[in-house]
A and B are shown apart, each in its own frame.
Chain A
Amino acid sequence: MAISTVDLQAAAGEAAPSPRPAKRQKFRFISNGKTLAGLIILGFYVLLAIFGPILSPYDPDARGSDLISPPTSAHWFGTTHLGQDIFSQVLSGARGVVYVGLLAGVVATVLAVIIGVSSGYLANSGGEALSALSNVFLVIPALPLIIIVASILPSVSNTVIGLVIGLTSWAWGARVLRAQTLSLRGRDYVDAAKATGESTWRIIFFELLPNLTAVIASGFVGTVIFAVLSEITLAFIGVSDPTDWNWGTILFWAQSQQALAQGAWWWFVPAGLAIAILGTALSLLNFGIDEIVNPRLRSAGRIKGKTVRMRIGFTPVLGKDNR
């Protein structure tokens, strides 16, 4: 998982190149190639989550007579040791993955906003305590904690897994938001709002939050990536909703039935690719957001089909060759 520059700088305690005062940036959001590509792939996954279970040609649990069969026209992605259709399992698995990712993302983002913004805005010991709390949660390795909590619970459903992941992974977002809030707090327009006697909550909702949108969005996307990977990982080690398929469950069975040793590559390749492409789409989305927040990252321009290489320290001179 790559960390965006805003996050990195916040991690180092530097004020990141902070978002400019809220202008309508919707169109720029779409016009950025990376965000657009990410959104399109993501849209496809959401459709898969909605319609996947309906579209699957077989019941993913139903056993068949073709055991461990490589891809055929009847079974596009081949079959398992019980003759289950892997294509149907992948299609049905999309829903659980997307649901858990979004649920965890929403829970973690809400917590991150509440904890991060208030710890940044309240310059008192309460703010310090909240910040210490998020730092503690940041260094405690989340995945082992999630594994322990999830496996001690008497029963796990997708909702429970989403909640556990969300409740343990808000800290990164909170830290970044705190750093950004701290740097926004001293701005003129916030001071102006304070001077006119606006209430703290009004200032937070109407002055601060609109300027934190991009950072919040980036944190949300980051958490969804983490949540998807965690959920898959949990399923892979055998902690998952027993009534539902997800891509980690497929990999769990592939691993425990020695798919590798049997040369059954079709058993684990499609599910893994599905995860990797989803992850790539989310990363692209995040890079796009990073470029919007941090304009320095935008790439070099073009003139009449020719790229002029923009190089720091050596401004290009049009019409002259300076190499």
Chain B
Amino acid sequence: MSYLLKRIAFYIFTAWAAITINFFVPRLIPGDPVQALISKERGQLNADAVHSLYVLFGLDKQQPLWQQYLDYWGQLLHGDLGLSFTFFPSPVSEVISSSLPWTLALVGITTVCSFLLGTGLGVLAGWRRGSWVDLVLPVTTFLSSVPYFWFGLIMIELLAGPDSIFPSSGGYDPGVTPGWDIDFIGSAVQHSLLPALTILISSMSGWILSMRNMMVTVSSEDYITVAHAKGLSDRRVMLGYAARNALLPNVSGFALSLGLIVGGTLLVEIVFSYPGVGFQLFQAVGAKDYPLMQGIFLIITLSVLAANFIADLAYLVLDPRTRKEG
């Protein structure tokens, strides 16, 4: 279990580091963009809101740094991320909690699906290496180099249209009211098809390629030769030996590149005006809504950490060598 404890300690440390970075970034950078915004909105902000923005962005220059840091933490622990300027006067935490489920559903599900599908196809491509399957590789190389959001534009151009079943924007039909009923869920699923397909195709290619190469690498290990020498069936050697072992590095690669992937997939939301965190980040950047930007960064980081932790658990289950410690 000491492996698990070490990982948990690491994630706590990383969460702390991310929050601390969030604390320092606005303080290190010259100019007070937030100050300017506050002055502009002066009339509409109440004293509490102004104070919380002061604490978040270090505008209170009289306080010593450590005092600022403590106040900052105190405020975060109360869930107070300040007020959003774009969605004035909603608090940032409220804004994010309305968009987060959309992103978790879209990006979460498609990322996992793309990893599973890509890995599966990569197993076949690696095992049938040297056959016609290799012809797929140039296509996947190209697809994995395309920016996700641009691919989204192409998908809209090609597949969406007045008489297509794929809506090109939004998270659900404006006609239905959000709620847990068939109409709404059906509409939400329909709206997520095209963005999901976009993310799936462009991120899957990378997994196909890396799993294929891992299969090829693992295939020349001694234990694979032994498996062949034992006369095991092709399927058994491919799945039980080669793929099973090639999966290990791919899972840790998945964990480590989650940060990169999530960054890219969020952009897809922009193209589809999907009501998730990525689209909000886009709006926040356009409106220079710093509290919202910082809040989104924190939430994304924490979600990625959580996802990383789950991937770690999967690794723990998959590799008996990590289980032995402790």
A55 proximity list for chain B (CB < 8 A): none
Q: A260, B157: Cβ atoms under 8 Å?
A: yes
Known: A8-B210, A139-B308, A144-B300. A236 touches B25 (CB 8 A): no
A175 to B130, CA, bound (A): 32
Q: B26, A152: Cβ atoms under 8 Å?
A: yes
* Count of CB-CB pairs between chains A and B under 8 Å: 224
Residues of A182-202 whose CB lies within 8 A of B: none
A239 proximity list for chain B (CB < 8 A): 285
| Candidates A4, A13, A251; contact of B213 at CB < 8 Å | A4
Known: A152-B290, A300-B129. 20 other contacts (CB 8 A): A1-B144, A3-B210, A4-B213, A8-B214, A8-B250, A141-B300, A141-B304, A143-B259, A144-B266, A144-B300, A147-B297, A148-B294, A268-B150, A268-B153, A275-B146, A276-B145, A279-B147, A283-B141, A297-B213, A313-B229
Q: A135, B259: Cβ atoms under 8 Å?
A: no
Q: Does B55 reach chain A (CB closer than 8 Å)?
A: no
15 contacts between A and B (CB under 8 A): A4-B210, A11-B253, A139-B305, A144-B300, A175-B256, A260-B153, A268-B150, A272-B147, A275-B146, A275-B147, A287-B141, A294-B213, A296-B217, A296-B220, A300-B130
Known: A132-B10, A238-B285. A8 touches B249 (CB 8 A): yes
Q: A141, B145: Cβ atoms under 8 Å?
A: no
A239 to B290, CA, bound (A): 14
A71 proximity list for chain B (CB < 8 A): none
B301 to chain A, nearest CB (A): 6
Q: A153, B29: Cβ atoms under 8 Å?
A: yes
Q: B145, A139: Cβ atoms under 8 Å?
A: no
Q: Does B206 reach chain A (CB closer than 8 Å)?
A: yes
Q: Does A314 reach chain B (CB closer than 8 Å)?
A: yes
Known: A5-B217, A309-B130, A313-B228. A11 touches B288 (CB 8 A): no
Q: Does A68 reach chain B (CB closer than 8 Å)?
A: no
Q: A143, B260: Cβ atoms under 8 Å?
A: yes
A12 to B249, CA, bound (A): 5
Q: Does B186 reach chain A (CB closer than 8 Å)?
A: no
Pick from A99-107, A109-117, A211-219, A225-233 the stretch touching chain B: A225-233
A283 to B206, CA, bound (A): 10
Q: Does A85 reach chain B (CB closer than 8 Å)?
A: no
B89 to chain A, nearest CB (A): 22
A-B complex: 6 closest residue pairs judged by Cβ atoms: A279-B145, A143-B263, A313-B228, A2-B209, A141-B259, A272-B150
Scoring B residues 269 to 301 as 1 if CB is less than 8 Å from chain A, else 0, what string do you get?
011000000000110011010100110110011
B205 proximity list for chain A (CB < 8 A): 2
Q: B271, A233: Cβ atoms under 8 Å?
A: no
Interface size, B (range): 35 or more
Q: B206, A2: Cβ atoms under 8 Å?
A: yes
Q: B256, A237: Cβ atoms under 8 Å?
A: no
Q: Does A70 reach chain B (CB closer than 8 Å)?
A: no
A7 proximity list for chain B (CB < 8 A): 253
A161 to chain B, nearest CB (A): 14
Q: Does A69 reach chain B (CB closer than 8 Å)?
A: no
Q: A151, B285: Cβ atoms under 8 Å?
A: yes
Q: B134, A299: Cβ atoms under 8 Å?
A: yes
B98 to chain A, nearest CB (A): 18
